[in-house]
Amino acid sequence: MQLVVGKIGRAHGIRGDVSVEVRTDEPELRLGPGAVLLTDPVSAGPLTVESGKVHSGRLLLRFAGVKDRNAAEALRGTILIAEVDPEERPDDPEEYYDHQLIGLDVVLLDGTPVGELTEVVHLPYQDLLTVKKPDGTEVLVPFVSRIVPTIDLENQRAVLDPPPGLIDPEEAEVARGASEGSGEAAGAEDAEGVDGAGPAEGSTESGAEEPA
């Protein structure tokens, strides 16, 4: 099984270092010294990680045979790919590899079908799940436990508890209209609801909010 674990950015310095956009929750394992990585384009690799360090919040890697800035800059934009045993699982039971998630059926808490999980988008601040609906449209779902409370690999499904409007924009319009029509009393209720929900929401945060 091949997993995308990074993308090479610009060269750093004159000795062959490159910045890397990390796309794995296990950079120490996937991008550590000695790791051999396939590449896209294929002609750029394979690449062997010689050394690595974090500089100003960015991961910098040096690959064997890449000795100067010109050689490093030639790798810019290259996708880094790791070979992973399909049976391998993350150490944290609340984390998942992308290939475990792609293809899952996505349903609501009551079992209503939503669509198919087609992609995991890794952003610096959060991971998103791309869900393709039956009509061909796509929605992006924040991969946090309060919105995705259950990943059921045995039954090949992801269960959502989305806020109004996330899956169906019309629901957001209805909710907004109801709130506007209820005046000051509704505003007070909303404020109380937010205050009361704060601790409970925080208690759901865990490693599941940052999957692989």
Tens digits of residue pLDDT in 191-201: 333 333 333 33
Distance CA 67, CA 168 (A): 52
Confidence (pLDDT) at 20: 94
Asked whether residue 130 carries a pLDDT value surpassing 80, the answer given is: yes
Total-model pTM: 0.52
Tens digits of residue pLDDT in 74-108: 999 999 998 876 666 666 667 787 878 889 999 99
